C-alpha cells in the first residue's frame, strides 16, 4: 500500500504551525463509499423524526462550542474572529437548523394532479403518487474559504435527506473538518455514515468523482469543477456545482449612499475577498461617483488589518496562502497595465503572513480585473448612465451567482432584479443569504448549476419515485390486443374525450370503452 501523505498545517496570518493531518489514499475512497452505503441503509430506515432528533443534538453541541470552532476557523484561515463567528459558525447553525426542522416535510408523499385527465382517471380507479427517498451516498468536495459553514451545512442537508456522506475537505483547512467530524460522532451519528477523505484534489477528490457515489456536490474553482464533472460523467453521476462569482452591486441615484458604501466595504473585503459572492464589481450611477467613492474610501481606510483573536477591532485578516497573495499582485499589475487606477490599497502591508491590502480600483468593463474571477480583496469601481445600461453591464459576465441592487424604491429594485442573470439578487443588502437555510443557493454559467440549501437543495439530495396505482376495476385496456375495428373507434373516442373536448354521445362512448375494458 502507498505511503500516506501528511498535511502540515500552519496559520497563514502568523505562519505558526497548527498541526498535522494524515491523508487518505485514493484507493481507499471506494471502500469509504461502501462503508457509508452500508450505514445509510439503516439510517434511511429510521423515521424522519428520529433523524431530526439526532441532528438537533449535533446542533446543540455546536451551539455550545461556538467560540471554540470560531477560534479554530480563524487560526486555519487567518480571518478575524468576528468573521469566523458570523460567517462560519452562525451560518452553519442556521442551515443546520433548517435541515433538521424540514425533514418531515421533505419526506411527505404527494399525489399527482392529472389536470384535464383527472375525472377520467378517477373513473378508471387510478392515481399517481410521488414517494421521496434518499439517493444513497453523497460525495461532498468542500472548499477552504468557509471550512465549517460550507461542509457542515452540506453534510447536515445530506444526512437530513437520509443519505450517507463521504466528505473531502480542502487541504488548506483539514483541522476544522476533523474537529467537525468529532462533533457528529459525539452526538451519536451511526458509525460509518459520515466518512472523511482528507487529501489533495487531484488525487482524493478525483478518486471520489470516479467512485460510485450517487451525487457529487462540489464547491470551488470553475476549472476544477469542469474536471470533476468530466470524471463524474463517465459513471453518469449527477453533480451540483457551486463555482466562482463576480458579483455586481448596482447603486441607483436614489440609493442610501452611506449604507451602500458600508455594505460595499463589507461585501468586497469579508474574508479578504475570498468569497464566491464577494462584491467584485460596483456600478454606481455616474452623477454619484464622486460622492460614493469618497464614502467608500473612508470606510476602507477604517479597516484594521491583522490577526489578533483578543482584539475585536481587527476587521480584515490574511489570505489563505502566499500563492493567493501573488495572484492578487499579478491581477492588479495587469489591471494597471490596462489603464485601471488604484484608489486605495494595492500592495502587501509591511508585516509577516499572507496579507494583501483592501484595494479599490477604478476600471472599465473590458479589463481583465472585471472579466475574470478575482478571489481576493480587490474590487472594481465603474459608472453607468441609466438603469438599462446598469443591467447590461452587470449581466455582461460569464459568472452569475449573486448580486445586489441599491435603491429607495423597493419595487423598482425588484423589477431590476428580475432582469439580472444571477441565481440570487438582494435589494439593499449584500452577500449574506447563504446563512438563510430556507433560501436556495446556486447560480448559472461559470458559477455552476444546481442548488444547495432550501427545499430546492433537498430536491437534489432525494429522488421522488413515481408510483402509479390501478385499483383493477377493468380487466383490459383499450390499447391492448387483440386489435380490431371496435378498439380503433374506441381509441379515437378516448382521444376526443380526453384532449379535444368532444362531448357528443358521451355516455355511449364511455359505455363502449367500458365494455372493451371488461372483455
Which residues are identified as catalytic?
242, 276
Distance from chain centroid for Cα 234 = 23
Which has the closest alpha carbon to 76: 24, 27, 29, 13? 13
First to last CA, the chain: 68
CB atoms within 10 A of CB 287: 11
Cβ-based neighbours of 69, under 8 Å, separated by 6 or more:
62, 84, 88, 89, 148, 176, 179, 180
Q: Which residue has the cell 458559477?
A: 447
Phi/psi of residue 440, nearest 5 degrees: -70, 155
Question: Do 281 and 373 form a contact (C-beta atoms < 8 A)?
Answer: no
Q: How far apart are CA 1 and CA 151, in angstroms?
A: 29
Coil, strand or helix at 469: strand
Of all helices (H) and strands (E), which one includes residue 77? helix 66-77
- 505 phi-psi bin (left φ>0, alpha ψ -120 to 50, beta other): left
Coil, strand or helix at 290: helix
Which triple of cell numbers denotes residue 341?
487606477
Question: Do 254 and 230 form a contact (C-beta atoms < 8 A)?
Answer: no
Separation in Å, CA 462 to CA 16, 229, 245, 322, 370: 43, 20, 27, 40, 38
Please give the radius of gyration of the chain, using alpha carbons only, rounded to the nearest integer.
27
CB atoms within 10 A of CB 74: 24
Phi/psi of residue 478, nearest 5 degrees: -60, -35
Amino acid at each position: 500500500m502507498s505511503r500516506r501523505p501528511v498535511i502540515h498545517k500552519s496559520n497563514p496570518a502568523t505562519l505558526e504551525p497548527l498541526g498535522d493531518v494524515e491523508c487518505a489514499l485514493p484507493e481507499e475512497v471506494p471502500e469509504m463509499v461502501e462503508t457509508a452505503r452500508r450505514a445509510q441503509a439503516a439510517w434511511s430506515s429510521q423515521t424522519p423524526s428520529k433523524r431530526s432528533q439526532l441532528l438537533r443534538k449535533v446542533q446543540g453541541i455546536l451551539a455550545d462550542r461556538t467560540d471554540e470552532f470560531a477560534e479554530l476557523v480563524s487560526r486555519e484561515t487567518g480571518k478575524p474572529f468576528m468573521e469566523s463567528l458570523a460567517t462560519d459558525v452562525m451560518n452553519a447553525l442556521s442551515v443546520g437548523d433548517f435541515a433538521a426542522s424540514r425533514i418531515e416535510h421533505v419526506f411527505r408523499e404527494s399525489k399527482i394532479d392529472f389536470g384535464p385527465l383527472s375525472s377520467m382517471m378517477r373513473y378508471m380507479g387510478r392515481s399517481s403518487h410521488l414517494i421521496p427517498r434518499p439517493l444513497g451516498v453523497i460525495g461532498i468536495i468542500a472548499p477552504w474559504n468557509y471550512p465549517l459553514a460550507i461542509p457542515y451545512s452540506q453534510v447536515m442537508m445530506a444526512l437530513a435527506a437520509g443519505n450517507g456522506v463521504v466528505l473531502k475537505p480542502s487541504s488548506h483547512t483539514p483541522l476544522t473538518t476533523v474537529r467537525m467530524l468529532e462533533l457528529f460522532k459525539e452526538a451519536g451519528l451511526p458509525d460509518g455514515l459520515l466518512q472523511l477523505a482528507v487529501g489533495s484534489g487531484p488525487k482524493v477528490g478525483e478518486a471520489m468523482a470516479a467512485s460510485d457515489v450517487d451525487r457529487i456536490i462540489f464547491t470551488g474553482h470553475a476549472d476544477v469543477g469542469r474536471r470533476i464533472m468530466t470524471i463524474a460523467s463517465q459513471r453518469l453521476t449527477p453533480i451540483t456545482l457551486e463555482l466562482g462569482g463576480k458579483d455586481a452591486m448596482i447603486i441607483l441615484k436614489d440609493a442610501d449612499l452611506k449604507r451602500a458604501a458600508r455594505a460595499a466595504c463589507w461585501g468586497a473585503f469579508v474574508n479578504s475577498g475570498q468569497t464566491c459572492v464577494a462584491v467584485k464589481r460596483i456600478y454606481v450611477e455616474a452623477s454619484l461617483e464622486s460622492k460614493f467613492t469618497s464614502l467608500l474610501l473612508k470606510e476602507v481606510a477604517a479597516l484594521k488589518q491583522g490577526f489578533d483573536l483578543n482584539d475585536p477591532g481587527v476587521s480584515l485578516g490574511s489570505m489563505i496562502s502566499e500563492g493567493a497573495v501573488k495572484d492578487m499582485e499579478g491581477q492588479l499589475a495587469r489591471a494597471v497595465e490596462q489603464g485601471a487606477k488604484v484608489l486605495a490599497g494595492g500592495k502587501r502591508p509591511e508585516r509577516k503572513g499572507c496579507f494583501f491590502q483592501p484595494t479599490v480600483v477604478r476600471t472599465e468593463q473590458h479589463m481583465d480585473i472585471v472579466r475574470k474571477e478575482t478571489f481576493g480583496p480587490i474590487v472594481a469601481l465603474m459608472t453607468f448612465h441609466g438603469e438599462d445600461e446598469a443591467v447590461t453591464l452587470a449581466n455582461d459576465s460569464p459568472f452569475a451567482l449573486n448580486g445586489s441592487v441599491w435603491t429607495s424604491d423597493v419595487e423598482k429594485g425588484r423589477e431590476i432584479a428580475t432582469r439580472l442573470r444571477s441565481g440570487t439578487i438582494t435589494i439593499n443588502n449584500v452577500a449574506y443569504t447563504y446563512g438563510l437555510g430556507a433560501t436556495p443557493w446556486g447560480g448559472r454559467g461559470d458559477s455552476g448549476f444546481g442548488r444547495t440549501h432550501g427545499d430546492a437543495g433537498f430536491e437534489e439530495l432525494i429522488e421522488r419515485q413515481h408510483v402509479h396505482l390501478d385499483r383493477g376495476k377493468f380487466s383490459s385496456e383499450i390499447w391492448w390486443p387483440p386489435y380490431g375495428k371496435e378498439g380503433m373507434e374506441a381509441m379515437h373516442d378516448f382521444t376526443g374525450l380526453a384532449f379535444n373536448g368532444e362531448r357528443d354521445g358521451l355516455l355511449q362512448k364511455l359505455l363502449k370503452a367500458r365494455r372493451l375494458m371488461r372483455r
